[in-house]
Amino acid sequence: MKVGIKVAEAMTKNPVLVSPDNLIIDCAKLMEEKHVGSLIIKYPEKGMIGIVTEQDIVRKVVAKNLNPETTKIKEIAESNLFTISEKEDIYDALVLMRDKNIRHLPVISTGELIGLLTIKDILKIQPQLFELIVDKFELREEFSKPISENRKLEGECHICGNFSRLHYMDYEWICDECSELKDKQ
């Protein structure tokens, strides 16, 4: 379901960059000052090395009782990054974000960081894609509750991507057609 809007049209063109040696306290203050939910960690000579989000600060610093005044941002940065090209459709970006459970996606062109795409960026210009994200949350919420194995839901099949009645099989919500194909394998 391509929407015809490229990542380059929706992305933030000047994401906030910080040095890996910055202290977490300073980075948190910068996030507040710039009203952003993430920072790109970058060595000037080496390019991008990671990303830190508000959730990282809560989960990796506050919850683990690390001192933000002495801990460097590189100690909590996520360096296993998913990225996207500026030429991709925002629908594809949102699917990647949904599937990888991320909300911030660095945009790369010829190996260089050129921007940052967030779920908020996409929904500002294409709010009808909100349903794609909501389906994921609803399915995840349903999975965490006790349900009978025969119960079915409606949503997007994790295999074919079609919207239909789904049932849970092998840790995925799938439609009847994909279920039959899986059974035959």
Domains and CATH numbers, the chain: 7-127 (3.10.580.10), 128-184 (no CATH)
Q: pLDDT tens across 53-105, in order?
A: 999 999 999 999 999 999 999 999 998 899 999 999 988 898 888 888 888 99
Residues of the chain with pLDDT under 50: 137-141, 143-144, 146-149
94 vs 79: CA distance, rounded Å: 20
**Sheet containing strand 104-109, strands side by side:** 84-85, 104-109, 112-118
pLDDT (0 to 100) of residue 114: 92
pLDDT (0 to 100) of residue 33: 97
Are residues 154 and 164 in contact, defined by beta-carbon separation less than 8 angstroms?
yes
pLDDT (0 to 100) of residue 148: 46
Task: Look at phi and psi of residue 182 and say left if phi exceeds 0, alpha if psi is from -120 to 50, else beta.
Answer: alpha
